[in-house]
Amino acid sequence: MTAVEARSHRMKIFVWRHGLKEILVMRNVGAVFFALLAALTPSSVGAQLLPPQRDTLWNPGIPGGIPDRSTICAKVEASTFGNGSADARAGIQAEIARCPEGQVVQLSAGTFKISSGPIRVNKGITLRGAGPTQTVLEAPDGNNQAVVVIGVRWVKPLRSTNLTTDAVKETYSVTVESTVGLSVGQIVLIDALTDPALTYWAADCDENCKGWFSRTDRPLTQVMEIAGINDKTLTFTTPFHITFETSRTAQLTTFEAPAVKNAGVEDLKVFGGEGGDGGGNFFMELAAYSWLKNVESQHSIGASVHVYRSFRCVIRDSYFHETKDPNPGGAGYGIDVSLGSSDNLVENNISWSFNKVFLMRAAGGGNVIAYNYLEDGFGAGYATMQENGLNASHMTTSHHVLFEGNEAFNLSSDGRWGNAIYITYFRNHATTLRRDVSKLGFARDKDNRYGVWVAAHHYWYSLIGNVIGYAGMSPKPYSSFVYEDTYPFGDRHAVAMYTLGAPDSTGAPEIKTYDPKVVTTTIRDGNFDYATNTVKWDRPAQEIPSSLYLKSKPAFFGNCAWPWIDPLGDTKIKVLPARARFDGNPSACGEKASRAD
């Protein structure tokens, strides 16, 4: 994503480049809100590849990029707190409270013990270390908490109002019954009651489960920002990524606290956060235009980073690794984007050695997960079985997610709690095989090695321009490769590049049967696989654009080729900067290229 910036004394004007379109966005610096000055639609290239219901405006993250703040309001020395021997939380929190917005709380090199509660970055400042190998925030064993919170943790809904017209996909306005308590710049939730045509709830998911990651029985979600109020008509800064229907009692809901905007954490390491699902190391909730950049996160119980109810946030250039608890159930997750979070960007990161390296639970639309390296997902007690790799599932009805340019051991989904819909995989690499870098004894994935798995009830998936497998790969301990494992499934002697509509391996009996609708609603175009050594198309062959959200090569690729996945070219797989960093070659694309914005 690139932007050209012009300034006046009151406004910043950004020309956003998305696909082949240029989009004019104006930011009022004082009021911190965005007024869209041009009608925004999915890119013309995307529209050719994707039917309108699958396409959307993927224009994620912070307009103009993460701000480069240089004014330091306070410096906090690790030596003040015994370099890890005394709790530093209160001292750091006091400096955050005193720091004017737009400035930096600078942490020195050294170790900071965080034991009395999380550090709360609850205003528009930057908490910055001296680098992730220099500054460490460490929580002691048994702390039962997240270490760093950006936003408002465990915020509750406050007030809901019904929509009086449908919120139509790719439009920006809707009418509501009441505007009481609403204001320009406010972050709100749009949701709707379960539509069986879209949402599948697994039988194991009871009424309590239906409220875990959305308001109860309202899994179709999107977090949005109000741009304007005219009588009972609201205008938003982003389009609706899916239609929210009044027939499903679509509602707008506010929260009991305002969102935290423009807050960032940079250049430090967090170690040892606990608390299970909802705890972990980093926790972002009700955050907007906020970010993690060049951070390291290790040994958590709970996700390495949670992103809940958040809007236009960015997670980039970072390294998330190693859970202390790889059991299923939420304690061992890597990157978790859930609870309606929308229009966020997760780019150029590493997620390694978790139960689930990446997941999305009832996430909203417009999220872009791009150019990340995901490796070695496993479970305690089933190390020889692949866990989900690059996926948007593990609850229900996450929608309109773009996965672009990532590498993972598989592209997957699961039906444990429900389904996901309108998911696009574009120019990714699915290796089919975990590397077992930590030597945990994966036995070369002898129980369920595969490339792409779209499970029962997961509809309208689009797989375009991906590469599956790698040159010279061996099927051992299997006997061969096949293009697709088809009904009745279960060929345990062959590694399948694709499995579509298969029953899920967990959950209730009704998801243990074949679902042919998955096959008929999945688009597979321009994908190359090393089982057949061919490119296959469901539709007539056409041009595959370089990106569905970028106009030009991103800076973090440096002198490396982009796109790095090219199913139609002679060299199918080139260099992914995130993997080069993981493999100990951070300068593979040029000095510091992989950390550039």
Report which residue type is found at 446.
K
Structure confidence at residue 513 (pLDDT): 77
Give residue-wise pLDDT tens across range 427-470: 999 999 999 998 777 777 888 899 999 999 999 999 999 999 99
Of 453, 481, 301, nearest in space to 388 by CA:
453
Cβ 17 vs Cβ 551: under 8 Å = yes
Give residue-wise pLDDT tens across range 574-597: 999 999 999 999 999 986 676 433
Give residue-wise pLDDT tens across range 438-449: 877 777 788 889
Binning pLDDT at 50, 70 and 90, where does residue 278 land?
A: confident
Cα 373 to Cα 250: distance, rounded to the nearest angstrom: 37
Phi and psi at residue 104, in whole multiples of 5°? -125, 130
Kind and range of the H or E element at 485?
Answer: strand 480-485
Cα 404 to Cα 411: distance, rounded to the nearest angstrom: 11
Cross-strand bridge partners of residue 236 = 226
Cβ 151 vs Cβ 285: under 8 Å = yes
Using the CB atoms, write b or e for 321-354: b if 16+ within 10 Å: bbbebbebebbbbbbbbbbbbbbbbbbbbbbbbb
| SS3 state at 280 | coil
Sign of the C-alpha dihedral, residues 567, 496, 453, 51?
Answer: positive
Kind and range of the H or E element at 500?
Answer: strand 494-502
Phi and psi at residue 595, in whole multiples of 5°? -110, 5
Cα 142 to Cα 115: distance, rounded to the nearest angstrom: 9
CA distances from 51 to 43, 227, 343, 524, 538 (A): 12, 28, 20, 13, 13
Cα 128 to Cα 133: distance, rounded to the nearest angstrom: 13
Cβ 352 vs Cβ 383: under 8 Å = no
Cα 393 to Cα 35: distance, rounded to the nearest angstrom: 33
Binning pLDDT at 50, 70 and 90, where does residue 488 land?
A: confident
Cα 6 to Cα 532: distance, rounded to the nearest angstrom: 51
Q: Does residue 531 have a pLDDT over 70?
A: yes
Give the number of other CB atoms < 10 A from CB of residue 33.
19
* Three-state SS sequence of 375-400: EEECCCCCCCCCCCCECCCCCCCEEE
Cα 219 to Cα 421: distance, rounded to the nearest angstrom: 12
Tell me the two tokens of residue 312: 């236009």
Dihedral over alpha carbons 291, 297, 303, 305 (to 10 degrees): 0
CA distances from 407 to 135, 284, 374, 467 (A): 29, 25, 6, 10
Tell me the two tokens of residue 162: 């019904």
Beta strands 251-255 and 157-162 are antiparallel
Q: Which of the pair, 563 or 13, is modelled with greater confidence?
A: 563
Count of positions (residues) in the chain = 597
Sign of the C-alpha dihedral, residues 255, 295, 282, 201?
Answer: positive
Beta strands 368-370 and 148-151 are unpaired
Give the number of other CB atoms < 10 A from CB of residue 529.
26
Cα 222 to Cα 139: distance, rounded to the nearest angstrom: 33
Tell me the two tokens of residue 398: 């996450």
Residues 6+ apart with CB under 8 A from 439: none
Cβ 267 vs Cβ 129: under 8 Å = yes
Question: Which residue, chain included where needed, has tokens 């009395």?
Answer: 116
Report which residue type is found at 355.
N
Of 28, 316, 59, 20, nearest in space to 172 by CA:
59
| SS3 state at 527 | strand
Task: Write down the domain spans for the chain.
Answer: 2-39, 163-197+210-254, 278-537
Structure confidence at residue 32 (pLDDT): 40
Structure confidence at residue 512 (pLDDT): 58
Binning pLDDT at 50, 70 and 90, where does residue 150 land?
A: very high
Kind and range of the H or E element at 44?
Answer: helix 44-49
The structural architecture, per CATH, of the domain 278-537 is: 3 Solenoid (2.160)
Phi and psi at residue 126, in whole multiples of 5°? -110, 130
Identify each DSSP E strand in 72-203 by its residue range.
72-76, 104-107, 110-113, 119-121, 126-128, 135-138, 148-151, 157-162, 173-175, 187-192
CA distances from 145 to 15, 153, 174, 302, 374 (A): 41, 11, 39, 9, 25
Tell me what the mean pLDDT of segment 64-70 comes to.
98
What whole-number percentage of the chain has pLDDT above 70?
Answer: 89
Q: Does residue 132 have a pLDDT over 90?
A: yes
Tell me the two tokens of residue 314: 């960015």
- What does pLDDT average to over the chain? 91
Give residue-wise pLDDT tens across range 208-267: 999 999 999 999 999 999 999 999 999 999 999 999 999 999 999 999 999 999 999 999
Tell me the two tokens of residue 490: 């279960």
Q: Does residue 41 have a pLDDT over 70?
A: no
